[in-house]
Chain A
């Protein structure tokens, strides 16, 4: 596999930037400055989840709101945000579809270019090289800042390098290769190595030499500078140009990660010039380091070789024996590890310190958990393949937990539904009976009679028709008095009573006439209230009838949905379990292959050490036999 070294990036921030950028598109009506003006609550709620970093909930809210048509004012904003979130979950197909649909027509070039760059990066990392290249080719010069162009060129360089198209990779990097910057430095390093490999040494040397002499402000750049010098040193060693090799290898820092290989190479540079004593110095220094390091193992083989060149046979024998013992110890260690990893639990081993607090594309394992195996497997960390599979494994675990929660909820929902059904069954007959007692038809007939009577009273100006109860009693008494008085016509002693009866009759009529309009208004108001009450009672009855009709169907509907979803959850759980096992198996294979590679190398070293030792003994024996 082609090894391409990449910088560790602050991925969450970068993706957040993309999503923010996409959301703030002027053409979509979102606010140009924060905070965004939210015109659909559901969109605001998804934004809240997104900004607080709960991407899974943000996706769910957006999807639900979309299905429930709760985003009339933020349709495109929501889609673009969803695209960014899909991308953050590694759902590059869905993200790609959304971007292709929305980005082409509606957004400014800078945003379109950035989205394509993100897509290209994730496609490249996932090994979709053709798609990555297409996305990069679609980036247009318009609206492309120099920094973005630099990223585009670098990614294009990597894509082409990964396809073995080295010359085209050089063309992609173009004049930009003279620029400064950390990303650029990685690009030049990778390209330099590729050029050397592809036989275009001169261009490659030029790039690597410049890197090997660059001013480095931080450890990352110093380490890269060491790598460049190391690569040049070994390339010259391979070409039997020991002097040049030595010059580059001496540039490598002694306290850096590349120091072991540099010391080893320095020894070979001296040795190849016949300076075996000088070669011993770096090799001996190296041999005192941990025996698991391949450079150290190489040195353990090289030391007796140099000693033999110096005719120090006994010392060579001692170093060969020392090397054999060390190699055997390492072999046993590797066998133990292989046995342990063969039994499974590879992913858990890597993720033992991980909080498993979410999922997403930005996650990566930066440090192996402490343990003997870490020192043998650290090289795996730099491989996309390893990181991506581990990430998928982790994401699947998250999804599995999510489904477990839903599966548990399904049981609770079924219980809840059963309780509701029982409660409904117990209450429904009582409510039904109480409504059956209510004769709405009779109530409406009475109301109609009141309306008709009121109309007659108004039409006839029948003020007595709206008399109060007290007035009616008074009127009855006055009528009774009039009837009594009429029995004694012309009776003078009753003249005062007659006058009084007439007066009171007049007062009563005056009062009824005076209040007639107000009373009419009041009665009408009461009639309206009666109408409302009758209407409410009608609605309530309709609701009850609807509930009686729909409730069983509703219960059944929920029952059916719960049953269907329970099956879906079960089916997905089976698929997820299988996929977790497949990821685990793949990781196991990567780890076992790595251990196997180391074992094979150790076997070779062991064979060489034994062969060297046997040869020394053979030489000594031959010499002794030759002596008289």
Chain B
């Protein structure tokens, strides 16, 4: 009884019989690897298909000849704490975006947000962006910037840049057209 009980105890603590246990569980380990490899293969295939579907969706919804994308980027945000941005194209509001703290952090670290993705006919258009947030000294700040641009038959990318102007201690709102 005494010996039996103590052996049970030893096994319980994993201090004896480790190798026997390892041999016993060898089959599940092998199974686990094959399952893991299967899941890896699936993940890879899903990611690949996801990419194809994403491209299909874009081409279907936003054909190249009419596609317009507006991006927003931010410097360190020292002089402007962005709350939201409103985008109008040809006097029509196409996007109203309110930023979360997390998204702002992503912007401050170099991320670029695609704030609008849509379609426009070829020709001349006017974009007006209205930025709201807190300016220097935490004051409410509201600024606009506009751009008249020519939409040709290719994709059109426009970047709204909020730049810190150290010398003026003010933010500057710049609109850049990408080729």
Binding site for B on A (CB under 8 A): 1-3, 31, 34-38, 41, 44-45, 47-53, 56, 59-60, 63-64, 67-68, 89-94, 126-128, 164, 193, 196-197, 230-231, 234-235, 237-238, 261, 264-265, 268, 271-272, 294-295, 298, 301-302, 305, 385, 388-389, 392, 395-396, 399, 402-403, 406, 409, 413, 416-417, 558, 561-562, 565, 568-569, 572, 575-576, 579, 582-583, 586, 589-590, 601, 604, 608, 612
Chain A residues within 8 Å of B2, by CB: 271-272, 305
Complex: how many Å from CA A49 to CA B114?
A: 10
Residue in B32, B39, B111, B113 whose beta carbon sits within 8 Å of that of A385 in the complex? B32
CB closest residue in chain A, given B72 = A48
**B76 interface residue (CB < 8 Å to A):** yes
Chain B residues within 8 Å of A298, by CB: 5, 8-9, 12
Complex: how many Å from CA A34 to CA B77?
A: 12
Chain B residues within 8 Å of A402, by CB: 46, 50
**B139 interface residue (CB < 8 Å to A):** no
Residue in A35, A127, A196, A576 whose beta carbon sits within 8 Å of that of B32 in the complex? A127
**B138 interface residue (CB < 8 Å to A):** no
* Number of B interface residues in the complex (CB < 8 A): 68
Chain A proximity of B62: nearest CB distance (Å): 12
- Find out whether the CB atom of A583 lies under 8 angstroms from the CB atom of B5: no
**B165 interface residue (CB < 8 Å to A):** no
Chain B residues within 8 Å of A272, by CB: 2
Chain A proximity of B10: nearest CB distance (Å): 6
**B159 interface residue (CB < 8 Å to A):** yes
- Find out whether the CB atom of A91 lies under 8 angstroms from the CB atom of B109: no
Chain A residues within 8 Å of B74, by CB: 35
Chain A residues within 8 Å of B92, by CB: none
- Find out whether the CB atom of B15 lies under 8 angstroms from the CB atom of A44: no
- Find out whether the CB atom of B28 lies under 8 angstroms from the CB atom of A590: yes
Closest 9 CB pairs of A and B: A44-B112, A48-B111, A36-B110, A51-B106, A35-B110, A63-B51, A52-B106, A47-B111, A392-B39
- Find out whether the CB atom of A234 lies under 8 angstroms from the CB atom of B15: yes
- Find out whether the CB atom of B39 lies under 8 angstroms from the CB atom of A579: yes
Enumerate B12-63 residues with CB–CB distance to A below 8 Å.
Answer: 12-16, 18-19, 21-22, 25, 28-29, 31-33, 35-36, 38-40, 42-60
Q: A2-B18, A45-B114, A395-B39 are in contact. List 11 more A-B contacts (CB 8 A).
A: A48-B106, A52-B105, A234-B10, A261-B13, A268-B6, A271-B2, A305-B2, A385-B28, A392-B35, A399-B42, A561-B56
Residue in A48, A67, A562, A568 whose beta carbon sits within 8 Å of that of B49 in the complex? A568
With A50-B111, A63-B51, A417-B60 in contact, is A41–B178 under 8 Å at CB?
yes
Chain A residues within 8 Å of B14, by CB: 3, 193
- Find out whether the CB atom of A36 lies under 8 angstroms from the CB atom of B109: yes
Residue in B33, B54, B103 whose beta carbon sits within 8 Å of that of A60 in the complex? B54
18 residue pairs A–B, Cβ–Cβ below 8 Å: A2-B22, A3-B14, A36-B110, A50-B111, A64-B55, A90-B40, A91-B44, A91-B47, A92-B40, A231-B15, A237-B6, A238-B16, A268-B6, A385-B29, A409-B57, A562-B56, A579-B38, A583-B39
Q: Is the interface of A mostly helix, strand, loop or mixed?
A: helix
- Find out whether the CB atom of A565 lies under 8 angstroms from the CB atom of B49: yes
Chain B proximity of A178: nearest CB distance (Å): 25
- Find out whether the CB atom of A44 lies under 8 angstroms from the CB atom of B73: yes
Residue in B1, B29, B54, B56 whose beta carbon sits within 8 Å of that of A612 in the complex? B1
- Find out whether the CB atom of B53 lies under 8 angstroms from the CB atom of A406: yes
- Find out whether the CB atom of B32 lies under 8 angstroms from the CB atom of A586: yes
CB closest residue in chain B, given A604 = B8
- Find out whether the CB atom of A197 lies under 8 angstroms from the CB atom of B18: yes
CB closest residue in chain A, given B23 = A1
**B102 interface residue (CB < 8 Å to A):** yes
With A36-B109, A48-B111, A53-B102 in contact, is A399–B31 under 8 Å at CB?
no
Residue from the set A50, A51, A53, A126 with the largest chain B CB neighbour count within 10 Å: A51
Complex: how many Å from CA A439 to CA B111?
A: 53
**B108 interface residue (CB < 8 Å to A):** yes
With A44-B73, A45-B71, A562-B56 in contact, is A91–B43 under 8 Å at CB?
yes
Residue in B10, B47, B113 whose beta carbon sits within 8 Å of that of A63 in the complex? B47
CB closest residue in chain A, given B48 = A63
Chain B residues within 8 Å of A128, by CB: 33
CB closest residue in chain A, given B76 = A35
- Find out whether the CB atom of B112 lies under 8 angstroms from the CB atom of A572: no
- Find out whether the CB atom of B111 lies under 8 angstroms from the CB atom of A51: yes
Chain B residues within 8 Å of A406, by CB: 49-50, 53
CB closest residue in chain B, given A52 = B106
Chain B residues within 8 Å of A197, by CB: 15, 18
Complex: how many Å from CA A396 to CA B38?
A: 11
Complex: how many Å from CA A378 to CA B159?
A: 52
- Find out whether the CB atom of B43 lies under 8 angstroms from the CB atom of A575: no
With A305-B2, A385-B28 in contact, is A44–B71 under 8 Å at CB?
yes
